[in-house]
Amino acid sequence: SFPADVVPQAPEDPLFGLMRAYKADQSKDKIDLGIGAYRDNNAKPWVLPVVRKADDIIHNDPNLDHEYLPIAGLASFTSKAREIFLGAASPALKDERVTSVQTISGTGAVHLGALFLAKFYKGNRTIYFSNPTWANHKQIFDNVALPTATYPYFDKKTKGLDFEGMKKALQDAPERSIILLHACAHNPTGVDPTEAQWREIASIMRQKSHFPFFDSAYQGFASGDLERDAGAVRHFVEQGFELLVAQSFAKNFGLYGERAGCLHFVTAPGPSAKEDTARIASQLAILQRSEISNPPIYGARIVSTVLNDDKLFAEWRDNLREMSGRIKDMRQALRSKLEALGTPGTWNHITDQIGMFSFTGLSEQQVLKLRDEFHVYMTKNGRISMAGLNTSNVDYFAKAVDKVVR
């Protein structure tokens, strides 16, 4: 059997525990700033209008069936998915040195990439994450038995990027290490390198022959601009890197539960690039087959319907601007309210940071006080989901922060 010393009781996932506590709280003032999903100004989930349209189109198709997808997924989905982050004019696409596999959203893409590296990577097999990073990264790489390490990322003093620390760690890592990078809207800090900093990071990684693994969970959701949010990945591709990209459509399409994502492998340019890509594709297909056989169809159909229609595509961009715009407004509102209250400390980081999350700099003690006395639910590391704020509760939240900080 499986006694407790062999299978010990595991702790509850902290985010899900937080969600339960929030649900049980009866206060009318309660605020959920834990959840990593977009909420509209009424604190409700938002089905993107363009997704509703795509839904109608799909359901009115008389030829719709529920057959298996191919192992690599829906080609009309994966081919457009890579086009939006690489850019339609990308040399990598022109040279046919990109291979794509549809995955179980971003998590599945990170996992499949990890599995591929575990099986085939011959450089330094340690994968380096930012400190901190999305909590799931370590578990995913532990599962495929790749050693993990971290590089400095968040500077507690400035609540911005510890760029010197990060560069030094990349320099000091053994050559050909695997470096995991957040393409944009870093989770949990909301801190991204600037364009110039990305160029420096790429240049160090080039010198050290590191292998970049981009996790792209927020393209278009961060700045509202698909091109801008893909800028880092595109720069690396232009520099001729061989790399992996895990792409999620959970946030930017609001398709959280549908599990629509892709893993893309970009081969370095060269005379055999096309053949090399085909070899890699053949192995990814075997890994995919043994893990999930073939991916789920519905979310991919929605995204494909939108990305392959010019009008719907333009509408999606509008929807993205609406989500990212509301979040930026909340950042502005929170910062200016804290500054107007004269809350001790500096609050520029609230608007300097980008995307779904902000690392507020609040201590664990302050976080617990916010929960116990003000019914505000956020993770102990001081991270807030900006989407949980709206015009009805931002004032209450700012006042609560002001009280616990003093």
Catalytic center residues: 134, 215, 251
Parallel/antiparallel/unpaired status of strands 383-385 and 357-359? antiparallel
State the Cα–Cα distance between residues 330 and 328, nearest whole angstrom. 5
Shortest spacing between CB 15 and ligand PMP, in angstroms: 9
Q: ∠229-387-45 over CA atoms, to 5°?
A: 105
Instruction: Name, in order, each residue with C-beta under 8 angstroms of 96's C-beta and a sequence gap of 6 or more.
Output: 273, 274, 277
Q: Which is nearer to ligand PMP, 105 or 390 (CB)?
A: 105
DSSP string, 357-387: EEE----HHHHHHHHHHH-EE--TTSEEEGG
If you ran DSSP here, which 8-state letter would residue 185 be given? S
Task: Please give the residues from 16 up to 45 whose contact with ligand PMP meets the rule CB under 6 A.
Answer: 36
Shortest spacing between CB 187 and ligand PMP, in angstroms: 4
Question: Which of residues 215, 229, 242, 315 is near ligand PMP by CB under 6 A?
Answer: 215
Question: Which of residues 34, 87, 106, 295 is near ligand PMP by CB under 6 A?
Answer: 106
Q: ∠247-250-256 over CA atoms, to 5°?
A: 145
Q: Which is nearer to ligand PMP, 43 or 135 (CB)?
A: 135
If you ran DSSP here, which 8-state letter would residue 11 be given? P
Question: Which of residues 180, 217, 237, 307 is near ligand PMP by CB under 6 A?
Answer: 217
Could you give the string, one character per residue 348-387, with x where binding to ligand PMP holds by CB under 6 A and - elsewhere? ----------------------------------------
Site of tokens 């070899």: 279
State the Cα–Cα distance between residues 123 and 330, nearest whole angstrom. 44
State the Cα–Cα distance between residues 311 and 50, nearest whole angstrom. 10
State the Cα–Cα distance between residues 344 and 25, nearest whole angstrom. 29
State the Cα–Cα distance between residues 242 and 39, nearest whole angstrom. 37
Task: Please give the residues from 46 up to 105 whose contact with ligand PMP meets the rule CB under 6 A.
Answer: 105
Residue 248 makes contact with ligand PMP by CB under 6 A: yes
Q: Which is nearer to ligand PMP, 82 or 208 (CB)?
A: 82
Three-state SS across 198-249?
HHHHHHHHHHCCCEEEEEECCCCCCCCCHHHHCHHHHHHHHCCCCEEEEEEC
Shortest spacing between CB 217 and ligand PMP, in angstroms: 4
Residue 254 makes contact with ligand PMP by CB under 6 A: no
Q: Which is nearer to ligand PMP, 99 or 105 (CB)?
A: 105
Question: Which of residues 182, 301, 335, 337 is near ligand PMP by CB under 6 A?
Answer: 182
Residue 187 makes contact with ligand PMP by CB under 6 A: yes
Residue 134 makes contact with ligand PMP by CB under 6 A: yes
Shortest spacing between CB 39 and ligand PMP, in angstroms: 15
Shortest spacing between CB 75 and ligand PMP, in angstroms: 20
Instruction: Name, in order, each residue with C-beta under 8 angstroms of 122's C-beta and a sequence gap of 6 or more.
Output: none
Residue 261 makes contact with ligand PMP by CB under 6 A: yes
As a residue count, the chain comes to 406
Residue 130 makes contact with ligand PMP by CB under 6 A: no
Parallel/antiparallel/unpaired status of strands 211-216 and 154-155? unpaired
Residue 315 makes contact with ligand PMP by CB under 6 A: no
Residue 242 makes contact with ligand PMP by CB under 6 A: no
Shortest spacing between CB 103 and ligand PMP, in angstroms: 9
> Which stretch in 66-74, 160-168, 248-256, 396-404 sits in contact with ligand PMP by CB under 6 A?
248-256
CA 226 to chain centre: 14
User: Where is 148: in which H helix or E strand?
Assistant: strand 148-152
Shortest spacing between CB 250 and ligand PMP, in angstroms: 4
Residue 250 makes contact with ligand PMP by CB under 6 A: yes
Residue 334: which of 278, 385, 261, 275 has the closest Cα?
A: 385
Neighbouring-strand partners of residue 102:
262
Q: Which is nearer to ligand PMP, 208 or 382 (CB)?
A: 382
**How many residues make contact with ligand PMP (CB under 6 A)?**
13
Site of tokens 């996932």: 13
Residues near ligand PMP, by CB under 6 A: 36, 105-107, 134, 182, 187, 215, 217, 248, 250, 256, 261
